[in-house]
Amino acid sequence: MAPWSSSSRGRRVCCCVLIGLGVLVLGAAVTAGIRRWLQPSGHKQWEGAGTTAHISEIFLGRCFTYTQIIHPELRDKNCQKIWNAFKNSFISKDTCNITEEDYQPLIKLTTQTLPCNQTLFWSKTNVLVHRYTKAQKELFTLEDTLLGYMADDLIWCGSSGNSEMNYQSCPSRMENCSNSPVFVFWKTVSKKFAEAACGVVHVMLNGSISRAFVRNSIFGSIEVMNLHQERVHSLRAWVMHDIGGDFSDSCSGSSINDLRSIMREKNIPFTCQDDYKPVRYIQCVSHPEHSSCP
């Protein structure tokens, strides 16, 4: 047997060992990578906060509170069915490809007719507008409706092929996951809320920020676009300024002129008031000494 043969077999054996080792190391690296990428629960790791802890109890509790106490005319709503429809809208689905369609069963179960002249939209005035509707029961924001009331300030997401909710992390607004469960939910229900609006409709805007009306906000890009002139007699805007805050924008400002021109195109009469008094009274509750307060 040729002398070089033993050495060549040796070389072949050590090549096989090296290749074997290489494959093992590579395999381990890939597995570790996937493990790092996937959380222990098998969900993808996102940058945003995870599904709100005890979301089912919170959601169900809010449903019963709303339908049995706040609006007993809705007492026949089946809260368990509503929760299941909500959960099935995103569970086991790709959390970046949720559609309006996914939420239709939930919307069907939570239909609520809002009387005309009682719809109140808002943009960048979340706290003030809800302090106002708590005091003034004649007007409804989306969060004063059953669907908005149950989901407000909650976070939820899952993953395709995984029957559990992702409590560790969910897509944040900055991540390229535009069709996330939360974002599609608010787009979908805001569209429905606007389509149902009728008579005199109101919006509360923030005059202490650079542009009170923002086209790519949910109000500007979804709700304004789904107001129908045959149902909506007029849109009344209230531009509120923080007490002691900046007077950055107002009814005579460029952003409101932008909104005015959109409403003109839609043939819906538009009026605007700076610091609508009844809302200012709400603000004055926490600033009784301020010169602009009675």
Residues with Cβ < 8 Å from 231, sequence gap 6 or more?
197, 198, 199
- The answer to whether 242 and 279 have CB atoms below 8 angstroms apart is no
Active-site residue, from 157, 198, 251, 272 = 198
Q: Starting at the edge strand that comes first in sequence, how are the strands of the sheet with 232-240 ordered?
A: 120-123, 199-206, 232-240, 270-274
Nearer to ligand JS2, 223 or 249 (CB): 223
- The answer to whether 154 and 106 have CB atoms below 8 angstroms apart is no
Nearer to ligand JS2, 38 or 183 (CB): 183
Encoded tokens for 222 = 């979804």
Nearer to ligand JS2, 83 or 219 (CB): 219
Residues of this chain that bind ligand JS2 (CB under 6 A)? 121-124, 126, 141-143, 152-153, 182, 186, 190, 193, 217-219, 223
177 is catalytic: no
Q: Residue 244 and residue 292: Cα distance in Å, rounded?
A: 9
Q: Closest approach of Cβ 71 to ligand JS2, in Å? A: 18
Q: Residue 225 and residue 263: Cα distance in Å, rounded?
A: 9
Nearer to ligand JS2, 67 or 133 (CB): 133
116 is catalytic: yes
Q: Closest approach of Cβ 33 to ligand JS2, in Å? A: 32
Q: Residue 172 and residue 175: Cα distance in Å, rounded?
A: 6
Terminal Cα-to-Cα distance of the chain (whole angstroms): 111
Q: Closest approach of Cβ 35 to ligand JS2, in Å? A: 31
Q: Closest approach of Cβ 242 to ligand JS2, in Å? A: 14
Residues marked as catalytic: 116, 198
